[in-house]
Amino acid sequence: MSDPQAKAASSQREAFFEAIRRAVVADGPAGPPTDRPTIDEAVARRVGSGDDLVATFVEQAEASGMCVHRTPRARLIETIIRSVQQCEARTAAVGLQDEQQSRRIETALHEIGLTLVDWRSAEGRERLFDADVGVTDVLCGIAETGTLVLQCGASQARGLSLIPPVHVAVLRAGDIVPDLLDCPVPLAAASAMTLVTGPSKTADIEGVLVNGVHGPGQVLAILLDDA
């Protein structure tokens, strides 16, 4: 292609993209609505604030295949130790939003002989594949579906709940809400949110339900009573 032809082609290309840019600006999506839509509670909700949220959460979580252990706050570390021993874990990765609590749990697991995986290192994601157990806390629990909502960040990598074959999640009874509408952080505003409803499942192969194919095969929720 000669130089005049190249310049003509370039000019046509720029004109084409400029037309697209103008169209996007003119017809682009409007900003988010300033007013939230009115919700018909009778239609939108199956669980209300007046229901027994803890009992509903436990029922739905166990129906999804999750194991729920209720325990007083003072026995949290004891319960975590018992849980990892029951699944015969040898390695663990720990990441709670409360970093001091994370260190206490790491110390306790190290004292009973577990090897701790340093997921905070530069190669942290790859190291998580060496962990038998991932220990996290959660933002809240959804009573309607028995779902754990995790907000990931510097203190808690997303892979902690997705990569190790066993996920141990710490949930406070007071953080259980009726349904997803009541999540304390709007999902649209969250940069990294994970929703966990029971162990990983798939029924792709001949319609047979199999656990643990794309993530943890066991999810253990340690439910801390408020008392």
Over range 209-214, report the average pLDDT: 74
Percent of the chain, pLDDT > 90? Answer: 53
- Name residues whose C-beta falls within 8 Å of residue 147's C-beta, 6 or more positions apart in sequence: 60, 61, 141, 180, 195, 196, 197
Task: Supply the pLDDT for residue 109.
Answer: 97
With beta carbons less than 8 A apart as the criterion, state whether 64 and 123 touch.
no
Q: State the residue for tokens 């007083």.
A: 72
Q: Parallel, antiparallel, or unpaired for β 147-151 and 193-196?
A: antiparallel
> Closest by alpha carbon to 119, among 96, 146, 151?
96
Domains by residue range for the chain, with CATH: 52-225 (3.40.50.10420)
Is the pTM of the predicted complex or chain greater than 0.95? no
